[in-house]
């Protein structure tokens, strides 16, 4: 069970985090990639990230369509383009603000194979901030590779090829997007991607148990 917090209100979010863990016994926290065109590395959200890091929280980040970009292509659903792009915005923002490194005990999960993140790695190096060594002392790849990415809506070879070129299979989780994408479609799709039996067991079960050890008891 992941608890939703009202991130635009940091003080209320801190109270909700306490309630979620102490009373609800939540396994993690759910966030959106952006709120009113503020992404997760925004200074307003730093106290919340600090608390989540203190608790070594698992944080699932689902993309949304930011206010800036809902009607850029009127004949194309923003779900097609803006959902994966907002994941990339959130990840880049967390990286370039130093939030990944500063709040290093948060274990983030980003869906849809990381959205556009794998395709942007080179550009992060080429066009990132000059002080990136201060923001990510261990390097860009280090910060990206230690988080988790699910395969919801992306059980297709091009997307998985990009993701597996960036992170090891220990960082990949099964995700379906059900009911938007039927569970069976993802389950069938993952079997066509060339994963070894060991990798399939990691992605479909063991990696989740590592993140959420309470599941082992069930």
> Measuring CA to CA, which residue among 101, 90, 100, 103 is closest to residue 34?
90
Residue 183 DSSP class: H
CA–CA dist 164, 14 (Å, integer): 35
pLDDT tens for 190-205 read: 999 999 999 999 999 9
Q: Which CATH number fits domain 2-217: 3.40.50.2300, 3.20.20.140, 3.40.50.10420, 3.30.70.141?
A: 3.20.20.140
Task: Locate the domains of the chain by residue range.
Answer: 2-217
Please tell me the pTM assigned to this model: 0.95
Residue 161 DSSP class: H
Angle, helices 117-127 vs 78-96, to 10°: value is 40
> Measuring CA to CA, which residue among 119, 175, 172 is closest to residue 147?
172
CA–CA dist 95, 124 (Å, integer): 10
pLDDT tens for 147-191 read: 999 999 999 999 999 999 999 999 999 998 888 889 999 999 999
CA–CA dist 68, 74 (Å, integer): 13
């Amino acid at each position: 069970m992941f608890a939703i917090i009202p991130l635009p209100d940091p003080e209320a979010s801190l109270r909700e985090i306490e309630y979620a863990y102490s009373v609800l016994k939540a396994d993690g926290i759910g966030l959106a990639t952006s709120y009113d065109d503020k992404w997760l590395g925004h200074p307003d959200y730093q106290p919340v990230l600090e608390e989540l890091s203190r608790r070594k929280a698992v944080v699932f980040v689902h993309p949304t369509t930011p206010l800036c970009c809902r009607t850029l292509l009127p004949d194309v659903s923003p779900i097609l383009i803006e959902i994966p792009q907002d994941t990339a915005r959130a990840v880049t923002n967390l990286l370039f603000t130093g939030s990944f490194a500063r709040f290093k005990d948060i274990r983030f999960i980003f869906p849809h194979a990381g959205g556009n993140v794998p395709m942007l790695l080179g550009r992060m190096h080429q066009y990132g901030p000059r002080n990136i060594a201060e923001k990510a002392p261990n390097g860009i790849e280090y910060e990206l590779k230690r988080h988790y990415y699910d395969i919801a809506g992306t059980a297709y070879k091009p997307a998985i090829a990009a993701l597996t070129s960036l992170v090891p299979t220990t960082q990949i989780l099964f995700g379906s997007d059900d009911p938007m994408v039927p569970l069976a479609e993802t389950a069938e799709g993952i079997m066509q991607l060339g994963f070894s039996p060991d990798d399939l067991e990691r992605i479909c079960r063991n990696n989740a148990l590592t993140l959420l050890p309470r599941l082992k008891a069930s």
